[in-house]
């Protein structure tokens, strides 16, 4: 009884501060769904839904001591059901074999691949000798070789001859599962073509109006501002990344300025702020009107409309949707006379995003965005009401920029390091010199240019915008060129980020001295991260690449080919070497547990000429032609069933980890590996 009384008393002291825990509980349920080893069945979902409703009723009838716990449990079950429902709602056919032949479809998106090739996302797909029921709803095709017969635009129907394959699984057990990402994006196949794409039909009038307007605006901006500056401006104004090169992207990543490319909280907030401020000034300039209408609320409404237009024009990707929701919640708070910036507003935004796209919880964009926003609101909320420090007035905005950049950087650094295995040593300096330029020059000029475009008078505003972007690009390249600008870090275990999040959220959301308890899981998470061990042997899911850990770092069996897998392995190791340097570390014979050799043979000739002894392991990227070999054979057929393989130091063959076993039998992993 004493324990229950103490718990009830603790919750009573938190009254008025419990709402921000609602999205946390939803996230726990969503995370539980994605962590499940197998897809839950209908009976499980029915039981969870009934349980959530029963707990909600009990919470309504119970006292204030027990209600928070019951509501939390109900939200966790609701989150689990929500994620499951979303996964079934987006279900679409997935290609189950490798396809080569004619591909036809309508362009719905144009971007660039990691190899800097133009990439088309197609819907209304038609494949030769493939019935509609087995044809993917969407496919993504990279255009290699000589193209240029037409400029790809959304709404056009095109045809090509190319290769398609099912979305691949994780490059190593426990790694990023692209099949899951593709499932929620409704991508049923990915591939490439080296033949020119052919325009079958131009975009019909009235079809995909916003997408075509976005590409037309992007082309207009890039015509006025040629080169990388224009491509950067097009990204900011329209979300079109098809014009920006890989060298610029890499410089922005190393300098920790890549977030400026995503139309996210910074851009949406700056746009809304510029429009809100401009409308307030207009009302103030006309006192006859400004004193007779609720100028503050009308200005917030105008800013909300501008943000909605920005969302529609930019294509409405996940990051932009999330940013719009956060800005919309804050502007609506202004309209209804509530505090615009508070943890409750952040919580409402998180709930809306999770309800719309529960899968966003697993993405770095969601995690970094809400980590930065929550930390900023908490820190500035703590500072609010305290006596301002002494010093000149001009120093306060400077201090605010420095403090906000530092807080956001510290909050997002663990998430960025965990997902991208790198940290920018000069990231704080780069942001201090770039973010004010974005707010004071680039975004106001972008808003002005958009307003003047219908009149054809946008050139001066774009020129001003280009000057600010030139500054940011020059800064990014200079910082990226500094020695040791990019630091590498080993990939953490699966429990590290959740532990860090639990500790940080407890410290921010819980009221009173007990918030210091949040330090315990955070310290534990950092300790686990420092002790993270990487597999000694990695084998790719198609048998095309083998990686072995050596004292110099991971040695790779190939200097070229399987570049995506190689890059991910090295990044997860915290290794900055490229594939060629890692291949130079390969020195045969490579030994395996038991003292045998590790042999990597490629192609049909390699499989035919393979010679091995008992105790050896042979890895083939084709089906084995000789099943009577004395060694243990890992061929393409067995890898289709197991996925990528990993073996740790001291492990035996029986302890090998299989990517498909770790991923479990889920909706997104049931197809494409048969």
| Residue 191: its H or E element | strand 187-193
Express each pLDDT in 283-319 by its tens digit.
Answer: 888 887 777 788 888 888 888 898 888 888 776 666 6
Neighbour tally for 299: CB within 10 Å = 23
Express each pLDDT in 78-114 by its tens digit.
Answer: 999 999 999 999 999 999 889 999 999 999 888 888 7
144 neighbors 184 (Cβ within 8 angstroms): no
**3-class DSSP state for residue 297?**
helix
What pLDDT does 336 receive?
82
Q: pLDDT confidence of 18, banded at 50, 70, 90?
A: confident
- The residue count of the chain comes to 674
What pLDDT does 365 receive?
83
Residue 251 in this model has a pLDDT that exceeds 80: yes
Neighbouring-strand partners of residue 104: 126, 159
326 neighbors 266 (Cβ within 8 angstroms): no
431 neighbors 410 (Cβ within 8 angstroms): no
Q: pTM for the complete prediction?
A: 0.87
Q: pLDDT confidence of 672, banded at 50, 70, 90?
A: very low
| Burial (CB count within 10 angstroms: exposed 0-12, middle 13-18, buried 19+), residue 212 | middle
**3-class DSSP state for residue 315?**
coil
**3-class DSSP state for residue 537?**
strand
Determine the Cα–Cα distance for residues 213 and 105; give it in Å rounded to an integer: 20
Mean pLDDT, residues 37-62: 91
What pLDDT does 385 receive?
60
Handedness of CA 435, 441, 442, 443 (dihedral sign): positive
254 neighbors 263 (Cβ within 8 angstroms): no
Residue 674 in this model has a pLDDT that exceeds 50: no
Rounded to the nearest 10 degrees, how much is the dihedral formed by the CA atoms of 499, 500, 501, 505?
110
Residue 226 or residue 140, greater confidence:
140
Express each pLDDT in 568-584 by its tens digit.
Answer: 999 999 888 889 999 99
Q: Of 89-103, 484-498, 531-545, 589-603, which range is least confident?
A: 589-603
Mean pLDDT, residues 70-84: 94
What pLDDT does 673 receive?
44
């Amino acid at each position: 009884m004493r324990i229950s009384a103490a718990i009830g008393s603790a919750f009573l002291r938190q009254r008025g501060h419990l709402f921000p825990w609602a999205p946390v509980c939803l996230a726990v349920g969503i995370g539980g769904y994605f962590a499940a080893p197998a897809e839950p069945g209908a009976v499980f979902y029915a039981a969870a839904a009934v349980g959530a409703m029963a707990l909600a009723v009990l919470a309504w009838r119970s006292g204030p001591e027990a209600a928070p716990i019951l509501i939390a449990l109900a939200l966790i079950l609701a989150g689990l059901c929500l994620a499951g429902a979303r996964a079934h709602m987006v279900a679409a056919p997935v290609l189950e074999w490798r396809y080569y032949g004619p591909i036809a479809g309508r362009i719905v998106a144009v971007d660039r691949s990691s190899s800097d090739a133009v990439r088309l996302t197609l819907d209304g797909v038609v494949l030769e000798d493939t019935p509609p029921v087995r044809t993917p709803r969407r496919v993504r095709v990279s255009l290699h070789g000589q193209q240029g017969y037409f400029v790809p635009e959304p709404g056009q129907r095109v045809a090509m001859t190319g290769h398609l394959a099912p979305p691949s699984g994780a490059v190593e057990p426990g790694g990023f599962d692209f099949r899951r990402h593709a499932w929620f994006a409704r991508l049923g196949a990915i591939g490439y073509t080296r033949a020119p794409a052919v325009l079958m039909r131009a975009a019909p009038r009235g079809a995909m109006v916003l997408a075509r307007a976005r590409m037309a605006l992007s082309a207009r901006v890039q015509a006025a501002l040629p080169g990388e500056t224009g491509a950067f401006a097009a990204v900011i104004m329209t979300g079109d990344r098809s014009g920006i090169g890989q060298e610029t992207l890499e410089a922005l990543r190393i300098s920790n300025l890549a977030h400026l490319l995503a139309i996210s909280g910074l851009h949406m907030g700056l746009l809304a702020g510029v429009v809100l401020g401009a409308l307030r000034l207009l009302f103030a300039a006309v006192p006859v009107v400004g004193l007779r209408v609720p100028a503050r609320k009308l200005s917030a409404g105008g800013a909300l409309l501008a943000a909605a237009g920005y969302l529609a024009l930019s294509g409405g990707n996940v990051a932009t949707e999330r940013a719009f929701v956060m800005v919309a919640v804050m502007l609506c708070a202004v309209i209804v006379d509530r505090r615009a910036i508070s943890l409750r507003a952040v919580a409402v935004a998180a709930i809306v995003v999770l309800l719309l796209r529960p899968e966003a919880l697993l993405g770095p964009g969601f995690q970094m965005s809400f980590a930065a926003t929550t930390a900023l609101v908490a820190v500035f909320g703590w500072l609010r009401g305290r006596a301002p420090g002494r010093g000149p007035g001009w120093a306060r905005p400077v201090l605010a920029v420095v403090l906000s950049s530092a807080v956001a950087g510290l909050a997002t650094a663990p998430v960025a390091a965990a997902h991208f295995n790198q940290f920018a040593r000069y990231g704080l300096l780069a942001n201090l010199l770039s973010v004010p330029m974005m707010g004071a020059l680039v975004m106001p000029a972008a808003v002005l240019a958009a307003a003047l475009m219908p009149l054809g008078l946008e050139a001066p505003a774009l020129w001003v915008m280009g000057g600010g972007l030139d500054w940011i690009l020059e800064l990014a390249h200079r910082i990226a060129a500094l020695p040791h600008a990019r630091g590498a870090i080993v990939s953490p275990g699966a429990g590290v980020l959740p532990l860090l999040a639990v500790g940080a959220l407890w410290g921010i959301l819980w009221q009173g001295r007990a918030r210091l308890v949040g330090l315990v899981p955070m310290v534990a998470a950092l300790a686990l991260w420092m002790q993270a061990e990487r597999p000694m042997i990695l084998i790719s899911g198609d048998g095309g690449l083998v990686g072995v850990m050596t004292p110099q770092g991971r040695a790779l069996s190939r200097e070229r080919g399987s570049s995506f897998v190689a890059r991910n392995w090295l990044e997860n190791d915290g290794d900055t070497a490229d594939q060629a340097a890692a291949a130079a570390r390969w020195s045969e014979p490579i030994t395996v547990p038991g003292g045998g050799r590790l042999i990597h043979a490629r192609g049909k000739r390699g499989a035919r000429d393979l010679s091995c002894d008992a105790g050896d392991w042979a890895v083939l990227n084709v089906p084995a032609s000789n099943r009577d070999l004395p060694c243990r054979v890992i061929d393409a057929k067995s890898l289709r069933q197991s996925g990528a393989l990993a073996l740790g130091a001291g492990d035996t063959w029986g302890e090998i980890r299989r990517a498909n076993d770790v991923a479990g039998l889920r909706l997104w992993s049931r197809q494409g590996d048969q």
